[in-house]
A = this chain, B = another copy of it.
Amino acid sequence: MPTAFTHRFRDPALRELALRHRSTGARNNERLEFLGDALVGLFAAELLYGRFPDADEGELTRWRARMVNEAALARIARELDLGDQLQLGPGELKSGGFRRDSILADAFEALVGACYLDGGYDACRQAVRAIFETRVDAVTRAQEKDPKTQLQELLQGRGLPLPVYELTASRGADHAKIFDVTCIVAAFDLRCAGSGSSRRMAEQAAAAAALERIAEARHG
């Protein structure tokens, strides 16, 4: 079934405002996006909460992040053909802003905010849930990414420099070598060790240690 946003706007001006990028001027979708972002987060949370009574908060948080991240919302926006309906200023038009993930994701959030103002909570919830329902399986069944990828994405997401992996030692006979690697995350002033039977596995272990230390620092 193709993705559709089922709400019919009583006030078409609200829908139009949701699709006006800030490059068009002062009257744009940024405020609606602020509201829609919170709604999208709630609908995803509620859907996962109800659907997975045995999932713990960590799983729910991870799944929700997959459901509402910029790339995921941009995919929805594309399926709804929001790109074609976007109002962009001349600069963004020229540089292909209607294809950019951030602009598309924001437009979807703004549309959700507009829907809430137009039709109220229940109507908005119904429209968004219908879309999210089709994505629950993909989100909850996706493979966990390996630690090196997770660490890289975490740092990239904050605009921080990437980690450096240094081979510090290799021990043992050729058929049973152990590699020691240090993962250096300058941004967090971290040096974490990892060992494994291949250099790659040692790097994964070191990255996992770094992720843990970063998580500890964040949650105090």
Contacts and interface: CB of A to CB of B under 8 A. Distances in A.
Interface of A: 30-31, 33-35, 37-39, 41-42, 44-46, 49, 55-57, 60-61, 102, 121-122, 158-161, 186-189, 214, 217-218, 220
Contacts of A37: 45
Contacts of A220: 102
**Considering the complex of A and B, which 9 residue pairs feature the smallest CB-CB distances, nearest first?**
A159-B217, A30-B57, A38-B45, A38-B42, A187-B187, A34-B57, A42-B42, A35-B49, A38-B41
A74 to B, nearest CB: 13
A113 to B, nearest CB: 8
Contacts of A44: 38
State the number of copies, please: 2
Given A42-B42, A159-B217, 16 more contacts: A30-B56, A31-B49, A34-B49, A34-B60, A34-B61, A35-B45, A35-B46, A38-B41, A38-B42, A38-B44, A102-B220, A121-B122, A158-B217, A158-B218, A186-B186, A186-B187
A54 to B, nearest CB: 10
A26 B44 CA distance: 24
Nearest to A219: B102
A41 B61 CA distance: 15
Nearest to A54: B31
A121 B116 CA distance: 13
Contact of A41 (B31, B41, B217): B41
Given A102-B220, A217-B159, A45 B56 contact: no
Given A158-B218, A214-B159, A189 B188 contact: no
Contact of A57 (B33, B49, B217): B33
A34 B161 CA distance: 31
Nearest to A53: B31
